[in-house]
Chains A and B, each alone.
Chain A
């Protein structure tokens, strides 16, 4: 399967803690993107990291990319209740954007 795998499938943490999600893929990529999906809504783009970049920040988000291991991680610092959602990685390779299986994040107030 070309689909990306995400780990863990589900994660519950206390508000204020950091959340880390991981994504692995199998093909060569041009970029890797992370999206958030709130229940019953469409996906929202969070951040894009190019294949020649190793780390990128956006607000409370930190993304790393290791092309040698074909993996990426998304770190959300100082989590808030509003961060409760599903998070998907998506990698662009072979002229196609392929989405991972998603991590369901629950922030406990």
Chain B
């Protein structure tokens, strides 16, 4: 298996633009997680899906953030409009169950200028 795939790896955009991050989880995993990592706040869970259904989105910072999982092999995290404080590394992870080991993707480094 190729592991968790994220795209793009790097994204530089201007404030106010829409940003879409993509994730392909490991085949057979039914739990998918989006995290954000910054020096100041560490690793934060944004949202968690189980069987394609959002279970816990309490970590989503505000309405500018939205996430979807239309099928078991694809998820998106969208920021609209983006702001400089959204600059961070965004990770997608998947697991066979929410309490089990998580497999992380390589991350998307987002810079909003």
Which residues does A use to contact B, with CB under 8 Å? Answer: 3, 30-31, 33, 41-45, 48, 88, 92, 95-99, 101-102
Contacts and interface: CB of A to CB of B under 8 A. Distances in A.
Nearest to B35: A99
Nearest to A33: B101
Given A95-B98, A96-B56, A97-B98, A45 B42 contact: no
A96 B100 CA distance: 11
Given A33-B101, A42-B105, A96 B45 contact: yes
A48 B99 CA distance: 10
A82 B13 CA distance: 34
B99 A31 contact: yes
B65 interface: no
A95 B31 CA distance: 12
- Majority-rule SS of A interface residues: strand
A43 B99 CA distance: 16
Nearest to B48: A96
Contact of A102 (B4, B42, B98): B42
Interface string B29-41: 0000100000000
B102 interface: yes
A81 B45 CA distance: 30
A58 to B, nearest CB: 12
Leading 4 A-B pairs by shortest Cβ distance:
A42-B104, A45-B101, A92-B99, A43-B104
B91 interface: yes
B54 interface: no
A3 B102 contact: no
B112 to A, nearest CB: 19
A41 B107 contact: yes
B43 interface: yes
A69 to B, nearest CB: 22
B67 to A, nearest CB: 16
A48 B101 contact: yes
